[in-house]
Amino acid sequence: MAKSVLLVEDEPFIIEALSFLLTREGLNVSAFMDGDGCVEHIQKTNPDLIVLDMMLPNKSGMQILEELRAIEGFADLPVLMLTAKGQKKDRTAAEEAGVSLFMTKPFSNKEIIRNIHTLLSA
Amino acid sequence: MPRTLLGTRIRENRRSKKISQAALAKSAGISASYLNLIEHNRRGIGGKTLLALARVLEIDPRELTEGADQALIDRVNQSAASTPSINCETSRTEEFIARFPGFARLIGRQFEQSAAQGETLQAMSDQMNNDPFFSEAMHLMLSNITTIKSTAEILSDDQTLPDTLKGKFLNNLLDEANRLAQTAEDILQHFEPSPENNTQTSDNATAEALLEQHDFYIDDLEKNGTSAQVYMDTLSIPDEEQPETLKTLERYTEITKMLPIQAFLPIAQKLQFNPIALSQDLNIPLTLILKRLAHMPRADDIPRFGIMECDGSGAVIFRKKLPTLSLPRFSGACPLWPIYRSLSQPYQPIKAFINTPTGERFLTYSLAQYDEPNAIGMPARASAVMAFTPDYDMLLTKPQIASQPNLAVGLQCPVCPRDNCAARRSKYLLQ
């Protein structure tokens, strides 16, 4: 059965590009565009991996990650965080919050696909 | 003016006019040997001889007798001090000015220009670093670039794409390129000098810069009991900026007098830097506690506090920003900030978490009060203080943090992407 990836991202064109790329890789891809209700959506859909943008409307990716890690059963869910904020403090904060991998925008398609496969097979 | 330089000045003037010592002496009616002694600063002169020499040299006698302009001496010395590795002979500055007045003026002028350019650069750099618009615009540009890069890679790498998908991605590319162009245009417009966005410095910009330089904690004022005036006198503050700087420093020393750091810190640590508990324990007004917390030494076990103070109109009158929360200097911030709510309910402290659109979270304490007793017929003058910290886990336990309501706020409407905000007063510039 194909593994599922949830894209939590508010830029529709990034969602389209990533959806195309990951679907082509044989993954089931869905998207959620708002910080509000995101944690509940993750609990309901239980994806195999989340690609999480740091800056989202209404709730940041960091808060979503923190809340997620506090929920039983989601402590080890692979989360790849994407951000245009590539500062060291952001990376450190994400690592402390329990991110699986941190990538800065702009990324290369090959790199993100490789990282997603690595996280899914870990 | 020391006699030493008078002779030097006569000699340099004579040489610049290519007059021999003998010729000058003869024309001035003195002996060549006497002129030689004068020129080597071994004899003082005045009166008739000085006038005669000035007449022959065709210069105003005051040019010989008056010392170099003190301001010029200072500028040349400052110029020398700005590059200490060169080891300029500053003990001979006056002599240098006397011998080469033109070059000295040139050095002075260039030093002034260089200092002015340095200040302009610093102001521009400050604007770049602390401008929420710029930070937001950069973020948006990177997002635009990400979409363009990723979409272009798909189009370039996959030659088997169906035409419908290819057309869709090409359209996305065009839309995103247009958005990127618009963002770039907005940035240019933002930095274009115009009367609307002329960012002249506020009255207390110097004091603010001084405090920032010391991370809002000045040892001399804290531990050594130095008065604000004495401390300011040790600094090179331009005359016109001294009153405001002094006012700000006196405001700081008021805090240090009421709550000396040596006594305050252990109690603050014991009460986990909780401002309300500190206010109750010390029987000190909460606003003063909030101000004290914004002036603390930097240490890992002391939470970082920023502060914003505004008057009844919401205008910012004092601010300490933190690297993760920029504060407006001139205009109002997001109307949802608790500091503005506190103005509508003076003397009632408000404790609230705020979330910024960039994902930062802060614990805030706000309190408004009336500054003076209400005069008959005059409106009350209210002001408010809001202290905020990103280190809330040092003040509250995890359950306490989880139980606090979160307030989604922005910085200012033009840079806030939050949709459907009832408090929005101007459109988001980066849409």
pLDDT of B3: 47
Nearest chain A Cα distance for residue B351, angstroms: 20
Q: Number of structural domains, chain B? A: 4
B229 lies in the same domain as B310: no
pLDDT of B198: 40
Percentage of chain A with pLDDT > 70? 98
Strand A49-53 relative to strand A4-8, pairing: parallel
As for the ipTM of the complex, it is 0.88
B403 lies in the same domain as B297: yes
Nearest residue of chain B to residue A63 (CA atoms): B359
Q: Domain range spanning residue B168? A: 131-191
B22 lies in the same domain as B140: no
| DSSP for residue B86 | G
Mean pLDDT of chain B: 83
Interchain pair A14, B146: CB under 8 A: yes
CA distance A36 to B408: 11
In order of A8, A27, A100, B419, the CA distances from A83 in angstroms are 12, 22, 14, 20
CB pairs under 8 A between A and B: 78
Interchain pair A20, B172: CB under 8 A: no
B287 lies in the same domain as B402: yes
Q: What is the pLDDT of residues B124-182, one digit of tens each?
A: 666 666 666 777 778 788 888 999 999 999 998 888 889 999 999 999 999 988 888 88
Task: Count helices and strands (H / E) in chain A.
Answer: 5, 5
* Global confidence as pTM: 0.50
Q: Which residues of A touch B360 (CB under 8 A)?
A: 60
Q: Which residues of B touch A65 (CB under 8 A)?
A: none
Residue B118 reports pLDDT greater than 80: no
CA distance A88 to B79: 38
pLDDT of A31: 96
Structure-derived torsion over alpha carbons of residues A55, A59, A64, A66, reported in degrees to the nearest 10: 100
CA distance B154 to A17: 8
CA distance A38 to A48: 15
CATH number for the segment(s) A4-121: 3.40.50.2300
B324 lies in the same domain as B398: yes
B249 lies in the same domain as B208: yes
Q: Which of B152, B167, B191 is the last residue of a domain?
A: B191
Position B400 in a domain: yes
- Structure-model confidence comparison of residues B329 and B58, the more confident one: B58
> Which of residues 60 through 89 in chain A touch B, CB cutoff 8 A?
60-63, 84-85
B277 lies in the same domain as B391: yes
Q: Are B168 and B200 in contact (CB under 8 A)?
A: no
Enumerate the domain spans of chain A. Answer: 4-121
Residue B197 reports pLDDT greater than 70: no
Which of A50-54, A56-60, B19-23, B389-393 is predicted with the least confidence, judged by mean pLDDT? A56-60
pLDDT of B85: 79
Q: Token match 């002075």: residue?
A: B108
B267 lies in the same domain as B400: yes
